[in-house]
């Protein structure tokens, strides 16, 4: 644990980070809580991505990850790391975004005053919603949906077919008939999906 | 309701009075008849007009009679369940009915002539059930839970076998069971045969209790895969018993463990090998589509028997054969063959299951096998039950440390309660060698009691238990496009995040496998045509459209005719009334689509229908003619479509033995599709098209394309119209409409929409807004229209409409 501690000290604001993301420092008896190794691993990964050693990442660092380039919505996800206007991602933000993908803690005591943890279902959904909603107006418009569909569907689908799919998708989810999907409608349409399962990475516990 | 009860009683009476004494009489008199036959031959004085040749047909006759009886039994049981009370699961009722039948047979014969013999069971009744289970196995769910399933199957079964055997031995040593000629090894042997959870029983009971998918797959997967362990344990201990105690040393034990590896993996790989064979076969069977469905059964059975021959695990072999081949076989085979396979499998599996349970009951009525030893039997029941619970909780606790979504306590309770024993255990018990194991009858009796207990009692109480514990039930997931879309998006997101984190998570393996599979395996095993049609989201979309089409047509029939397509608002209102808001949005547009479909148009609103049918605005003479033609076609449609019934969304419950409803309507979907497309063909032919319009088309196409989006603000749905999507015409030299080419025989060979070239010229209406081109249909995933179909309708219609519209071909078509 000694070396772990010293490595941890090198990471700035590590206590705040752990507090916010829920990645705990001390391994408790409850097997659901995690060892600090994860923060260290993520820090190592951060440093590996940050080839020029500047202490923060910029988009082309992410672009260097080959598999990400082959991902249809890879560029959107990269974009999700960068807050609007900022060109760089520091370690803090990096971990915070990744914390969205921690499995949901079922045993978390419900304190009414504490802010919702980052990996709650609602926040996971918000993260996904932001991937669709590029202009951040709180609604997924038909065009935005079209773009996502175009990215995710194969090339043999013609534009008209695409538009029909988009129309139909919006129609399924759109309850207030404004031809866009708001976050609430989005959430409602995904009630049946087990978000905890679908948007969680095991080792980030 | 009364009538069906009477029917049941009648059937029972028939069974009792006629069938069984017939069998008894026949089998008894068999010997009697042989002699007179010989006598007759010697004393042949005249020509016998009719002779009674029982001994010629004896074996097949008995078999068929029993199959018939089993069918009647199932009928009675199902009727009973529907109309009286459905408390006892069907399997339980079948066993009880088997008791009755067995009683009758025994009463007539004083001996049980019809028993469930192990070879019959293992070679003729079991394989199709396993094949059915594995062919319809939800692969994704299975493989994602494979770790847990394996743990339960391997370690759970070993645990059960060991603990039950050892506890019984301990109790025997303690003297609870009295005097038995039995030893530790035999107890262990007994433990191993009673330990295995039975797939047949699990399906039978869980089918009626719809628990959530994960729970079901865990229990069911375990029951399938534990055969590997059971076979090994059984054979090992059988051999040990034969060898005798002292000869067992470390080497033998090691051999036993090694044999497990060989048997289990050998069986699985053999199954996979046969799956590859089957996929390759179906890839080449394009021209013998009529029998290609048979290959599935034949190869599956071959897999089973080959493994049995090599003393590998036969159940594992046929399981993996079914699991691995499903995807490729379904993609390669013609639609009709796929349907045939489905129906035939369900038929065979259902039939076998019925017979198994029936015979389990019949076999019980036999004084020879019953040996009652209170201690042994009761203790076995107790231990089987308790150790199942303990084992399940123990292993689940260990598993939950590694699982992403832990298995809940309630699910564990159901899992332990669902450890049903069935015919496999009985079969293994009946296979025991009496000389080596003197207490064979005791074991058989105990096994039968355990089977009855689990199937009947646990079967009865399973449903109330599930309800009482509020187990999560199977999610009735409608096939919503947005859910599918998001599912896929989430997969991508996870993949991306894993890449970013630089860690190899589960998803990495899945993705890697998917890539490998797509590139290499599919290339090898799937037909090229099938590979192209694999786009997932699009196929979902397509299915949804087709469902809408069905609903639309069925509503049309209910309305009496497709008359609403000619009127406007009124029909809309009706729809709204009947279906509520859910359909109201979709329906009017579909309705509009449908009728305009014949005119070759896609996008539109309700008002455009009015425009189209009133022969004033656009089409003048031709509009009127078209209206008449439409009447004709509508009448045609009405008649033909009268055969269809409405379908609502049926939930995707895949695990039912008797219903596999997700795509039940596929055949009819296809037919409706074919018909509507035929009508489109007719409408195309009603206009004269030559080479010229090609240029017009492109011009207007581009113009209309930009207009399209603006034009129809409230066109919200894709629905059916999207299947008939506008084509991005590649401007070629022209568009040949084979219909109007000198050689008029092409339509009769293959419909234009199946030809590779841009064979269909758009109607004049279509020039304004282009319709789909039929060849684009190839993009639409599973829809396959047989090129070899001998649709007499098609040919008749083709000739008819050709004649009809010959005179109209002169008409000049005004560009819109």
Closest-CA residue to A101 (of A129, A67, A124)? A124
pLDDT tens track for B433-452: 888 888 888 889 999 999 99
pLDDT digit string, tens, across residues B567-625: 444 334 333 333 333 433 444 443 333 433 333 333 333 333 333 333 333 333 333 44
Crossing angle for the helix pair A142-152 and B481-501, to the nearest 10 degrees: 60
Q: What is the pLDDT of residue B130?
A: 92
Residues A189, B482: C-beta atoms closer than 8 Å: yes
For residue B262, pLDDT over 60 is answered with yes
Is the Cβ–Cβ distance between A200 and A102 less than 8 Å?
yes
Nearest by CB to residue B501, choosing from A31, A42, A169, is A42
Look at A66-75, B221-230, B395-404 and tell me which has the smallest mean pLDDT. A66-75
Stated as kind and residue range, the H or E segment containing A77 is helix A74-81
| A200 touches B: beta carbon within 8 Å | yes
Tell me, what's the pLDDT at B507?
A: 64
Q: How far is CA B288 from CA B435, B442, B749, B754, B789, in A?
A: 52, 53, 18, 20, 13
Angle (deg, nearest 10), helices B126-135 and B314-332: 50
Residue of A nearest to B582 (CA): A172
Q: What is the pLDDT of residue A16?
A: 66
Q: Is the confidence at residue B92, as pLDDT, over 70?
A: yes
Q: Is the pLDDT of residue B20 over 60?
A: no
Q: Shortest CB distance from B538 goes to which of A41, A153, A197?
A: A153
More confidently predicted of A102 and B138: B138
Nearest to B118 by CA among B364, B370, B426: B426
Q: What is the DSSP letter of B18?
A: I
Give the pLDDT score at A107.
57
Could you tell me the pLDDT band of residue A28, with boundaries at 50, 70 and 90? very low
**Which is higher by pLDDT, A205 or B130?**
B130
**Whole-number Å distance between alpha carbons of B377 and B442:** 9
Q: What percentage of chain B exceeds 70 in pLDDT?
A: 60
pLDDT band at residue B627 under the 50/70/90 scheme: very low
pLDDT of residue B805: 46
Q: Are B426 and B455 in contact (CB under 8 A)?
A: no
**A80 in contact with chain B, both atoms CB, cutoff 8 A:** no
User: Does the beta-carbon distance from A158 to B477 stay under 8 Å?
Assistant: no
Which of the two residues, A190 and B561, has the higher pLDDT score? Answer: A190
Q: For residue range A6-16, what is the model confidence (pLDDT) as tens digits?
A: 555 666 666 66
- For the segment B465-493, the average pLDDT, to the nearest whole number, is 74
Specify the DSSP class assigned to residue B761.
P
Which residue has better confidence, B657 or A100?
A: A100
Look at A194 and B405 and tell me if their CB atoms are within 8 Å.
Answer: yes
Q: Within an 8 Å CB–CB cutoff, is residue A113 touching chain B?
A: no
Other Cβ atoms within 10 Å of B161 Cβ, number: 25
A82 CB near a chain B CB, below 8 Å? no
Least confident residue range of A82-96, B12-26, B330-344, B702-716 = B702-716
Mean pLDDT over A20-43 rounds to 53
- Among A101-110, B115-124, B638-647, name the one with the lowest average pLDDT: B638-647
Q: Do B538 and A72 touch (CB under 8 A)?
A: no
The sign of the CA dihedral B260, B264, B267, B272 is negative
Q: Specify whether the CB–CB gap between B270 and B198 falls below 8 A.
A: no
Per-residue pLDDT for B309 more than 90?
A: yes
> Could you tell me the pLDDT band of residue B8, with boundaries at 50, 70 and 90?
low
Closest CA in chain B for residue A154 = B535
Comparing alpha-carbon positions, the chain A residue that sits nearest to B480 is: A172
**Which chain A residue lies closest to B581 (C-alpha atoms)?**
A175
Report DSSP letters for B709-739, one per residue: HHH-TT----HHHHHTPBP-----S----GG
Mean pLDDT of B327-345: 89
B722 touching A, CB under 8 A? Answer: yes
Q: Which run of H or E residues covers position A90?
A: strand A89-90
Q: Tell me what pLDDT residue B516 has.
A: 80
Cα gap B56→B73, rounded to integer Å: 27
Write out residues 479-498 of B within 8 Å (CB-CB) of A.
Answer: 480-483, 485-498
What is the pLDDT averaged over residues B730-751?
45
Determine the Cα–Cα distance for residues B737 and B755; give it in Å rounded to an integer.
Answer: 11
Classify each residue of A132-164 as buried b or exposed e, where b means 16 or more C-beta atoms within 10 Å of its C-beta: bbbeeeebbbbebbbbbbeebbeeebbebbbbb
- Neighbouring CB atoms inside 10 A of A177's CB total 11
Q: What is the DSSP letter of A182?
A: E
Higher pLDDT, B22 or A41: A41
Is A98 in the B-facing interface, judged by CB distances under 8 Å?
yes
**Between chains, do B490 and A168 touch, taking CB under 8 Å as contact?**
no
Does B718 sit within 8 Å of A201, measured CB to CB? no
pLDDT exceeds 70 at position B39: no
Which of A72, A158, A201 has its CB closest to that of B497?
A201
Out of A165, A190, A196, closest to residue B486 by CB: A190
pLDDT for residue B736: 46
pLDDT tens digits, one per residue of B144-176:
888 889 989 999 999 999 999 999 988 888 887
B272 has pLDDT over 90:
yes
pLDDT of residue B693: 38
CB distance A172–B482 less than 8 Å? yes
Which residue, B511, B521, B505, is CA-closest to B488?
B511
Provide the pLDDT for residue B635: 40
B541 contacts A201? CB cut-off 8 A: no
Which residues are registered as beta bridge partners of A90? A56
pLDDT tens column, B780-813: 444 444 444 444 444 444 444 444 444 444 444 4
B649 near A CB under 8 A? no
What pLDDT is attached to residue B395?
Answer: 92
Predicted local confidence at residue B345, as pLDDT: 94
Taking an 8 Å cut-off on Cβ atoms, the answer to whether A154 and B721 are in contact is: no
Structure tokens at A85: 């206007």
Higher pLDDT, B754 or A204: A204
Contacts of A168 in chain B (CB under 8 A): 481, 541, 544, 717-719, 722
Q: Say if CB B587 and CB B553 are below 8 A apart.
A: no
Give the C-alpha separation, A68 to A112, whole Å. 39
DSSP B310: T
B124 DSSP 8-state letter: I
Query: In A, residues 12-71, which contact B (CB 8 Å cutoff)?
Result: 31, 41-42, 45, 48-49, 62, 65, 67-68, 71
- A140–chain B Cβ distance below 8 A for any pair: no
One DSSP character per residue, B429-470 reads: HHTS-TTT-TTHHHHHHHHHHHHHIIIIIIHHHHHHHHHHHT
In chain B, residues 770-799 whose CB comes closer than 8 Å to chain A: 776, 779
Cβ contacts of A49 on chain B, cutoff 8 Å:
500, 502
Residue B248's SS3 state is: coil
Does the predicted TM-score (pTM) go above 0.90?
A: no
At A166 the pLDDT is 80
Question: DSSP per residue over B241-272, as a string?
Answer: HHH-GGG--HHHHHHHHHHHHHHHHHHHHHHH
With bands split at pLDDT 50, 70 and 90, how would you rate the model's confidence at B411?
Answer: confident
A193 to chain B: which residues are within 8 Å by CB?
483, 486-487, 490
Residue B185 pLDDT class (50, 70, 90 cuts): confident
**Binding-face residues of A in 149-178 toward B, CB within 8 A:** 149, 152-154, 156-161, 163-165, 167-173
Average pLDDT value for chain B? 70
Lowest mean per-residue pLDDT among B235-249, B567-581, B753-767: B567-581
* pLDDT single digits (tens) B521-532: 877 888 777 776
- How many CB pairs (< 8 A) connect A and B? 158
Q: Kindly state whether A134 is in contact with chain B, defined as any CB-CB distance less than 8 angstroms.
A: no
- Res. B9 pLDDT band, cuts 50 70 90: low
Q: Would you state the pLDDT for residue B667?
A: 54
Helix (H) or strand (E) holding A169: helix A159-173
Q: Please name every residue paired with A139 in a beta bridge, in sequence order, or none if there are none.
A: A182
pLDDT at B2 (0 to 100): 52
Q: Residue B258 pLDDT more than 50? A: yes
Q: Is A56 helix (H, G, I), strand (E, B) or coil?
A: strand
Which residues does chain A have within 8 Å of residue B494's beta carbon, measured at their own beta carbons? 101, 198-199, 201
Q: Suggest the residue from A43, A142, A169 to mutate for an interface test with chain B (most B CBs closer than 10 A).
A: A169
Nearest residue in chain B measured CA to CA from A64: B500
What percent of chain A stands above pLDDT 70? 70
Q: What is the pLDDT of residue B664?
A: 44
């Amino acid at each position: 644990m000694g070396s772990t501690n010293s490595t941890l000290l090198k990471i700035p604001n590590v206590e705040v980070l752990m507090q916010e993301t829920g990645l705990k420092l001390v391994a408790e008896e409850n097997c659901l809580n995690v060892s600090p190794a994860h923060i260290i691993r993520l820090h190592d990964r951060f440093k590996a991505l940050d080839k020029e050693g500047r202490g923060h990442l910029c988009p082309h660092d992410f672009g260097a990850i080959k598999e990400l380039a082959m991902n249809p919505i890879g560029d959107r996800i990269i974009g999700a790391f960068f807050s609007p206007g900022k060109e760089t991602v520091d370690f803090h933000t990096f971990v915070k975004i990744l914390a969205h993908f921690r499995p949901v803690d079922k045993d978390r005591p419900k304190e009414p005053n504490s802010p919702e943890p980052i990996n709650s279902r609602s926040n996971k959904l918000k993260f996904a919603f932001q991937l669709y909603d590029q202009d951040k107006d709180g609604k997924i418009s038909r065009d935005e949906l079209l773009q996502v569909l175009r990215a995710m569907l194969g090339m043999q689908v013609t534009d008209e077919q695409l538009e029909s799919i988009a129309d139909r998708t919006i129609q399924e989810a759109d309850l207030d008939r404004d031809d866009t999907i708001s976050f609430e409608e989005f959430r409602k349409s995904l009630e049946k999906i087990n978000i905890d399962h679908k948007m969680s990475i095991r080792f980030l516990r | 309701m009364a009538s069906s009860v009477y029917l049941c009683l009648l059937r029972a009476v028939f069974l009792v009075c006629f069938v069984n004494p017939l069998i008894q009489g026949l089998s008894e008199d068999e010997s009697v008849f042989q002699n007179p036959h010989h006598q007759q031959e010697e004393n042949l004085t005249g020509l016998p007009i009719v002779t009674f040749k029982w001994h010629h047909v004896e074996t097949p006759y008995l078999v068929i009679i029993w199959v018939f009886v089993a069918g009647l039994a199932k009928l009675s049981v199902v009727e009973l369940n529907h109309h009286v009370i459905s408390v006892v699961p069907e399997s339980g009722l079948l066993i009880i009915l088997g008791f009755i039948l067995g009683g009758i047979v025994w009463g007539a014969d004083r001996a049980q002539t019809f028993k469930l013999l192990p070879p019959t069971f293992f070679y003729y009744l079991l394989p199709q059930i396993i094949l059915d289970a594995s062919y319809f196995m939800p692969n994704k769910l299975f493989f994602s839970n494979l770790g847990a399933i394996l743990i339960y199957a391997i370690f759970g079964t070993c645990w059960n076998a060991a603990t039950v055997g050892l506890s019984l031995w301990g109790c025997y040593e303690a003297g609870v069971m009295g005097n038995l000629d039995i030893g530790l090894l035999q107890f262990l042997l007994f433990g191993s045969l009673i330990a295995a959870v039975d797939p047949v029983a699990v399906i039978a009971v869980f089918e009626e209790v719809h628990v959530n998918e994960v729970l079901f797959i865990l229990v069911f997967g375990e029951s399938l895969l534990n055969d590997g362990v059971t076979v090994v344990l059984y054979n090992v201990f059988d051999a040990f018993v034969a060898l005798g105690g002292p000869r067992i040393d470390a080497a033998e034990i090691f051999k036993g463990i090694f044999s497990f590896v060989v048997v289990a993996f050998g069986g699985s790989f053999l199954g996979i090998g046969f799956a590859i064979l089957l996929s390759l076969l179906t890839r080449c069977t394009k021209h013998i589509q009529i029998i290609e469905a048979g290959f599935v059964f034949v190869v599956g059975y071959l897999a089973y028997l080959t493994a049995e021959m090599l003393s590998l695990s036969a159940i594992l072999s046929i399981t993996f054969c079914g699991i691995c081949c499903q995807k490729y076989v379904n993609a390669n085979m013609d639609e009709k063959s796929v349907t045939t396979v489905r129906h035939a499998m369900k038929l065979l599996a259902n039939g076998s299951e019925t017979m198994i349970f029936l015979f389990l009951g019949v076999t019980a009525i036999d004084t020879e096998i019953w040996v009652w030893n209170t201690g042994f039997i009761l203790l076995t029941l107790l231990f089987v039950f308790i150790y199942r619970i303990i084992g399940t909780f123990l292993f689940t606790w260990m598993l939950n440390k590694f699982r992403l979504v832990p298995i809940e306590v309630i699910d564990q309770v159901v899992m332990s309660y669902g450890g049903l024993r069935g015919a496999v255990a009985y079969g293994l018990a009946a296979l025991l060698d009496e000389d080596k194991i003197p207490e064979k009858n005791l074991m058989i009796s105990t096994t039968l009691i355990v089977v009855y207990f689990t199937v009947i009692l646990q079967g009865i109480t399973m449903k109330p238990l599930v309800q009482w514990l509020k187990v999560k039930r199977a999610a009735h997931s409608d096939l919503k496009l947005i859910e599918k879309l998001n599912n896929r998006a989430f997969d991508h997101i996870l993949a991306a995040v894993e890449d970013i984190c630089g860690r190899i998570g589960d998803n990495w393996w899945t993705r890697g496998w998917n890539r490998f599979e797509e590139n290499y395996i599919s290339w090898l095993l799937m037909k090229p045509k099938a590979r192209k049609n694999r786009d997932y989201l699009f196929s979902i979309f397509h299915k949804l459209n087709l469902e809408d089409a069905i609903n639309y047509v069925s509503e049309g029939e209910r309305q009496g005719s497709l008359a609403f397509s000619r009127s406007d608002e009124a029909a809309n209102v009706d729809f709204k009334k009947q279906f509520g808001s859910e359909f109201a949005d979709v329906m009017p547009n579909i309705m509009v689509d449908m009728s305009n479909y014949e005119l070759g148009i896609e996008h539109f609103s309700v008002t455009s229908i009015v425009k189209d049918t009133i022969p004033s605005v656009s089409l003048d003479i031709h509009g009127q003619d078209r209206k008449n033609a439409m009447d004709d076609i509508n009448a045609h449609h009405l008649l033909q479509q009268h055969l269809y019934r409405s379908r609502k969304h049926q939930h995707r419950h895949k695990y039912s033995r008797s219903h596999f409803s997700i795509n039940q309507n596929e055949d009819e979907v296809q037919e409706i599709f074919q018909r509507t497309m035929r009508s489109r063909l007719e409408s195309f032919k009603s206009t004269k098209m030559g080479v010229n319009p090609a240029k017009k088309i492109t011009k207007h196409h581009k113009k209309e394309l930009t207009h399209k989006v603006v034009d129809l603000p409230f066109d919200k749905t894709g629905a059916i119209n999207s299947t008939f999507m506008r084509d991005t015409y590649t401007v070629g030299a022209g568009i040949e409409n084979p219909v109007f080419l000198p050689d008029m025989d092409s339509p009769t060979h293959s419909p234009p929409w199946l030809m590779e070239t841009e064979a269909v010229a758009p109607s004049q209406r279509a020039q304004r807004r282009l319709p789909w081109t039929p060849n684009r249909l190839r993009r639409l995933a599973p829809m396959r229209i047989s090129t070899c179909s001998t649709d007499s309708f098609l040919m008749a219609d083709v000739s008819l409409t050709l004649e009809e519209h010959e005179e109209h071909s002169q008409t000049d078509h005004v560009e819109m």
